[in-house]
Amino acid sequence: MAQLENAKDSKQVIVNLKMTVEEARQVIWEDAYNPRGPIGDLLDAKKIGYNNLAWGVQGAWKPEMRTAARTLLAHWLGEPTTAEATRRYGPEVVEGSHYLEKNELESLKMGSLLRGYGFGGAVALSIYVVQQFIATQNIFTLMIGLAFVFLLVGVWIRSQTRSEFARYEDLRQGRKGEESVVEVLRVALDNRWTIFRNLHLPDRKDDIDIALVGPGGVWVIEVKAFRGNVRSQNGAWERQTKRGWKKLEQNPSRQVTENAKRLNFYLQQQGITRWVERAVALAEPQPIQNFQSEISIWFLPTLEATVSNLTTRTAPTDDEIKRIVGLFKDLAAKQVAIEEAKYKKN
């Protein structure tokens, strides 16, 4: 058990530890953005920091990593020289919707189901053709029949399942992109910030990919995980194809601007006058020179440095931040309740 004291408010926090410091130092650290190795060695070599441990307390996918991070962080915070550094605990992440995961799974199930029906139909028709051959002993009929079955069913399977599996891949790519951006934000921002994922505003079917609330203001982030090269020139977004640059069906700059306006209007309805900042985060590597935009474009490799000093036109007060966070948490809770009720019925 470790007893921590914050010099600012003299409040004591009791932390129950299930691992010794030495045991925790031997646990292997694994994440997508840092070297793999014993946590103690990585800390000593400054290859990871205590901000990473703050993320690991909740974000690490292995239970022993979470336990080790908790132990080492408690041990570190107990040192008198680190009292001020308690602010480096990472931000809370609040999820308002799991629609990406659910739609992704539904598309995979539907594609697999249609493919299963197709193969089942092919087998049934093939058996029928073989039975007709046995009855007539006409080899020409057998060959034509089987060719017709496989051609017909093959075309049907391709046409019916291609769109579902393509949708599955797009949803999967988008979800992984959002997760990558959120994980970097968790490391880069401190506990004064709150991260909201897939936040739904009232009477809106679409969602806000990421909303940030903290001392640097309120930010709306549109996350894109494009395959292949894209570019943004004077507000126009295009994708590079074999035939040159082609206009994107959905313009990320326009999307994030509309979401920022809607969020600003929602806050005004709640009696809060707050400018909402906006940015487009690219979760896949892109050539930086391809982007000339008045809207902030965030690149994953440099995202931690980009968001380390976020600012807004007028900094919000602590009371305003608290109120906005409370409003957004209520929205997220309502959306979760709606989705749970919907999927229980199904």
Instruction: Give the per-residue pLDDT at 14.
Output: 42
What span, in angstroms and rounded, lies between the C-alpha atoms of 320 and 217?
10
What span, in angstroms and rounded, lies between the C-alpha atoms of 151 and 22?
65
Between residues 322 and 59, the one the model is more confident about? 322
SS3 264: helix
> What's the token pair of residue 268?
């005004």
> Which range, 24-38, 48-62, 158-172, 229-243, is most confident?
229-243
Instruction: Give the per-residue pLDDT at 312.
Output: 94
Q: How confident is the model at residue 119 (pLDDT cuts 50, 70, 90)?
A: low
**Residue of 182, 179, 208 whose CA lies nearest to 195:** 182
Is pLDDT of 157 > 70? Answer: no
SS (H, E, C) 118-171: HHHHHHHHHHHHHHHHHHHCCHHHHHHHHHHHHHHHHHHHHHHHHHHHHHHHHH
Q: How confident is the model at residue 84 (pLDDT cuts 50, 70, 90)?
A: very low
What span, in angstroms and rounded, lies between the C-alpha atoms of 174 and 160?
23
Q: How confident is the model at residue 279 (pLDDT cuts 50, 70, 90)?
A: very high
- Dihedral sign of CA atoms 173, 297, 262, 264 in order: positive
Q: Is the pTM of this model over 0.75?
A: no
DSSP string over 170-204: HHHHHHHHHHHHHHHHHHHS-TT-EEEEEEPPTT-
Torsion of CA 292, 298, 301, 305, to 10 degrees: 110
